[in-house]
Amino acid sequence: MKEMIISGNEAIAYGAIRGGCRFFAGYPITPSSEVAEMLSLELPKVCGKFIQMEDEMGSLAAVIGASLTGKKAMTATSGPGFSLMQEHIGFAAMGEIPCVIVDIQRGGPSTGLPTHASQGDVMQARWGTHGDHEVIVLSPWSVQESYTLIIEAFNLSEEYRSPVIFLSDEVIAHLRERLIIPDDDEIKIVERAQPTVPPEEYKPFDVSMGKIPPLANFGSGYRYHITGLTHDETGFPSDDSKNAASLIKRLRDKIIDNRDKIVKTETFMMDDAEIAVIAYGAVARSAKQAVIIAREEMGIKVGLLRLITVWPFADKEIFELSKRVKSIVISEMNLGQLKTTVEAAVKGNCDVYTVGRADGELVTPSEILEKVKEVRVEH
């Protein structure tokens, strides 16, 4: 076991290599650039490839191409670049191409606040690309989790043949704290399933072996077609409505049917809580401190539900929680993007409030505490 003091972005780079990443294509953008900088140094040491592309669209296109050759591949960006990547995220979803997209959130819209923090991409991560689709989005709250969770992002991407978005923020990205590097027996690494049939019998979207067909590597003797159009089991375009309906439903179901395996949350002091705070990323650290102060200094029974998996949403967990508490307070670095989603999960069982800010600054424990006190008075 090894320990080091590094930043969240550096931990992402080291964790990605540990998870099997051997290709990175990206374009520099604050506050994600350290991910690329570190990988430019470290990938060649493990026979990996690093390339700086001309823009963010080209970056994800290169990542998709590398993935189809069998490489675990990743890019990293921030809000404006993430916006530019949406078309290719949709292509990867339709083509079922594993890849990891790191989005270090910063203030927006547009160029916004390049060097300041935000969680304003949380809905874009879910709905940024058009059409009916599912997506897996993970959010770390520490340097340690930046390392371990990026490995999980690669595992999920390979297992479900899906793009996975790693949604961090400027605070966690540039925070420096202790990282304990796990031993090999503590790390699970998932490799994508390979076809067991000869090349002449292979169909890249053949569901006879399950909702997630094996993916052959380009250059390994298997030839097949990839398109962003709706397609049949051979990968060639098909506009047949029944085929399209079956395809889109399968793309959804392969994630939704496994949501209980994918969705991860963490609770803190929730056993007897009357008020629950829901938070993710850096704000969850503020929320935890607010919970401690509220209990120790004010006697308020409040707890924290931290979203580790942001999408698929933890609707079941929040619904169960809503039956036990009087109120839920959502805290995030935006003006309430998750409120309607939480309200839908709560189904009227309790009141839902928000506390947030969109000025590039972290929501503080005192701000969360003030909202908790307001909510307590109302009840």
Transcribe 82-118 into DSSP letters. Answer: HHHTHHHHHHHHHHT--EEEEEEEEE-STT-EEEEE-
Query: Where exactly are the structural domains of the chain?
Result: 2-186, 199-259, 266-378
pLDDT in tens, 278-336: 999 999 999 999 999 999 999 999 999 999 999 999 999 999 999 999 999 999 999 99
Distances (CA, A) of 77 to 27, 53, 98, 346: 7, 12, 17, 33
Q: Of 126, 119, 210, 132, which is closest to residue 164 (Cα–Cα)?
A: 126
Q: Which helix (H) or strand (E) holds 123?
A: helix 122-127
Who has greater pLDDT, 184 or 42? 42
Half-sphere exposure of 42 (CA within 13 A, CB side): 19
- Would you state the pLDDT for residue 377? 75
Bridge partners of 306, per DSSP, are: 266, 279
333: CB partners within 8 A, 6+ apart: 105, 117, 118, 119, 120, 169, 281, 282, 283, 356, 357, 358, 361, 362, 363
pLDDT (mean) for 34-47: 98
Fold annotation for 2-186: Rossmann fold (3.40.50)
pLDDT in tens, 324-361: 999 999 999 999 999 999 999 999 999 999 999 999 99
Contact of 100 with 156, CB cutoff 8 Å: no
pLDDT in tens, 128-180: 999 998 999 999 999 999 999 999 999 999 999 999 999 999 999 999 999 99
Q: For 45, list phi and psi in degrees, rounded to 5.
A: -70, -20
Identity (one letter) of the amino acid at 251? Answer: L
- Would you state the pLDDT for residue 134? 93
Residue 379 pLDDT > 70: no
> Quick one: CA dihedral 361, 362, 366, 368, positive or negative?
positive
Residue showing tokens 């539900």: 305
Q: For 332, list phi and psi in degrees, rounded to 5.
A: -155, 160
pLDDT in tens, 176-231: 999 999 999 999 999 999 999 999 999 999 988 778 999 999 999 999 999 999 99
Q: What mean pLDDT is reported for the chain?
A: 96
Residue 10 pLDDT > 70: yes
Identical fold at 2-186 and 266-378? yes
Domain covering 266-378 in this structure, CATH number: 3.40.50.920
Extract the tokens encoding 32.
Answer: 């994600």
What is the residue-wise DSSP string for 176-190?
Answer: EEEEEEPPGGG----
Q: Rounded to an integer, what distance in angstroms lies between the CA atom of residue 126 and that of residue 275?
A: 27
- pTM of the entire predicted model: 0.96
Identity (one letter) of the amino acid at 218? Answer: F
pLDDT in tens, 82-135: 999 999 999 999 999 999 999 999 999 999 999 999 999 999 999 999 999 899
Half-sphere exposure of 46 (CA within 13 A, CB side): 20
> Quick one: CA dihedral 35, 333, 138, 70, positive or negative?
negative
